Structure 1
Amino acid sequence: MNRLAGILFSLISTTLMGTAVVVALTMGKDTLQPILIAAAIGFVVSIPVTWFVTKKILEEFS
């Protein structure tokens, strides 16, 4: 599970962080602090998302 979770985390975290940054920029928050906060929120949210996706994949193929 750890290897799969690591691979998925690298993909999910960059996707969610990038999405959060795009949302922040779309809202007109174009200074450094809101962009870093959005990236941090995307990073934190990606941890449980990765766990959930990994768990569902392992349940499907077990």
Structure 2
Amino acid sequence: MFRLFSLIFSIAGATCAGIGVVIALVIGQDTLQPILAWAAAGSVVGLIASWVVAKMILANEAA
């Protein structure tokens, strides 16, 4: 489970963090603190999404 989760997170985490940075810049927050906060929030979303996707893949594999 952890290997699959790590593989998915390496892609989804970076993608969601990048989306968070883009959101911060689009809404006009162009200083360091808001950009880092949005990137961290995106990374958390990527973490949760990776966990759910890995769990769903393993559940379908076992069935």
Question: By the TM > 0.5 criterion, same fold?
Answer: yes
Name stretches of at least 5 consecutive residues in structure 1 with no aligned partner.
none
Name stretches of at least 5 consecutive residues in structure 2 with no aligned partner.
none
1:12 partnered with 2:8: no
Aligned residue in 2 for 1:51? 51
* 4+ aligned runs moved over 6 Å, structure 1: none
- RMSD over aligned CA atoms reads 0.9
Shift of 1:57: 0.9
How far does the alpha carbon of each residue in 1:9-35 deviate from its partner, in whole angstroms, 9 at most, with x for none? 111100100001101101111111110
User: When the two structures are superposed, what TM-score results if normalisation uses the length of structure 2?
Assistant: 0.89
User: When the two structures are superposed, what TM-score results if normalisation uses the length of structure 1?
Assistant: 0.91
Equivalent residues, number: 62
Aligned residue in 2 for 1:39? 39
- In the alignment, the residues of structure 2 paired with residue 29 and residue 6 of structure 1 have an alpha-carbon distance, to the nearest angstrom, of 31
Shift of 1:40: 0.8
- Letter of the structure 1 residue corresponding to residue 36 of structure 2: L
Percentage identity across aligned positions? Answer: 47
